[in-house]
Amino acid sequence: MLRWTVELEGGPKRVNHAAVAISDRIYSFGGYCTGENYETTTPMDVHLLDTVSLRWRLILLEEPANLTSIPYQRYGHTAVAYNENAYIWGGRNDKDGACNILYGFNSNTHAWFRPDVCGSIPNARDGHSACVINHKMYVFGGYEEETDRFSNEIYALDFSTFSWSLIVPSNGDPARWRDFHTATGIGHLMYIFGGRSDHGGNIYTNNEIYCNKLQIFDTLNRTWIEPETTGVLPIGRRSHSAFVYRGYLYIFGGYNGKFDYHFRDVLRFDPVHLHWSMVKVKGKGPCARRRQCCCVIGTKVFLFGGTSPSVKPAIPNQNNDSDLTDHSDLHVLDFAPTLKTLCQIAVVDNKIKTDCLPHVLQWEIAAMTTNNTISSARPSNTNG
């Protein structure tokens, strides 16, 4: 029984951030919040979520002798996990623009490091995607700062040598130039979905395309595949989330600029039968949003942050960030909720008195109440 089981407020208010799951912890890197100053190159913030206690804390880092080993605060970057480390690449801020330096973060020591890399290093960009397949990080697409264009190239970073290489496809039509899509690794295949393209091809002309075709890159024979899919095809979108559970690809949320519409749907793709389906999820769940993060640990998906349309009236025919509200909430999507969890939800939903229960159970039930506040070392920004 797929169900939204937790909704908590009080975490870090972040948009366009990047996150990874390592063991039973989630690390969130960077991002922005409306009203904050991004004309500086302050060190990137790192927030840690304990997925057992559901408490956030800001990791306070000792300042190293060499500040070049710490990435500056940014958004539109990617993060992947490999061998207990998180690797951050790309992204931009409003002072120094985009970046193409690789940074590593040790989850055991909470220390940043900067690996020595070689090979064909990709141009600086943001809005790209990254995933790990067979000990390599594959980077696709994004908007390149230097050439001022969309990309549809694939680069791979070999973690055994830290060597970059440009992957030249041997067959098939490459996915269209785009940014703010998702790339998800299942086996040796990379699944590309969504994103913002343009009728101008690799040049942005403000005539956007939101394609709903799923395209696959086979990393073994370097071939692009555009499968014929069946079922309920998703509406094209960007800034959505993609995650894998038991071999299925799931999509949540996102935004379509042609319709000016934010999504809160959950869709599932079966890579064996090439079939899309709309997933019915019990529970309230998050509001429609984009630019959030989703991380899977065990049977649970932890979703946090992002931005949604503001409740205040927007200026007609003018879409900008001032019409959006940034989020500091945490939602848990459970693929296999326990009987204990379901009973606790029933008590909360039906407002059953808990006076006769042990104090521990009373606390656990109270913690599941909607809009309960969780601890955060960083105060929420009230100017968003």
Q: How many other CB atoms are there within 10 angstroms of residue 141's CB atom?
A: 27
Within-domain flag for 241: yes
pLDDT for the residue 365? 55
Query: Is 126 in contact with 102 (CB distance < 8 Å)?
Result: no
Within-domain flag for 382: no
- Which tens digits make up the pLDDT trace of 74-130? 999 999 999 999 999 999 998 889 999 999 999 999 999 999 999 999 999 999 999
Query: For residue 1, how many C-alpha atoms fall within 13 Å in the half-sphere facing its CB?
Result: 10
Query: Is 99 in contact with 122 (CB distance < 8 Å)?
Result: no
- Which tens digits make up the pLDDT trace of 257-294? 999 999 999 999 999 999 999 999 999 999 999 999 99
pLDDT for the residue 376? 34
pTM, to two decimals: 0.89
Q: How many other CB atoms are there within 10 angstroms of residue 111's CB atom?
A: 14
Question: What does the alpha-carbon distance between residue 333 and residue 166 come to, in Å, rounded to a whole number?
Answer: 37
Within-domain flag for 383: no
Amino acid identity of residue 155, one-letter, is Y
Question: What does the alpha-carbon distance between residue 126 and residue 86 come to, in Å, rounded to a whole number?
Answer: 18
Within-domain flag for 279: yes
pLDDT for the residue 321? 54
pLDDT for the residue 341? 76
pLDDT for the residue 96? 86
Within-domain flag for 381: no
Pairing of strands 241-245, 230-231: unpaired
Domains contained in the chain, number: 1
pLDDT for the residue 304? 98
pLDDT by 10-residue block (mean), the chain, 384 residues: 92 97 97 83 93 95 72 96 98 92 96 96 98 98 93 98 98 97 98 97 93 97 98 97 98 97 98 98 96 98 96 53 88 91 68 61 54 35 29
- In the DSSP assignment, the letter for residue 113 is E
Residue 254 belongs to domain spanning: 3-376
State the CATH number of the domain containing residue 94. Answer: 2.120.10.80
Classify residue 202 by burial, with Cβ atoms within 10 Å: 0-12, 13-18, 19+: middle
Which helix (H) or strand (E) segment holds residue 73: the answer is: none
Within-domain flag for 187: yes
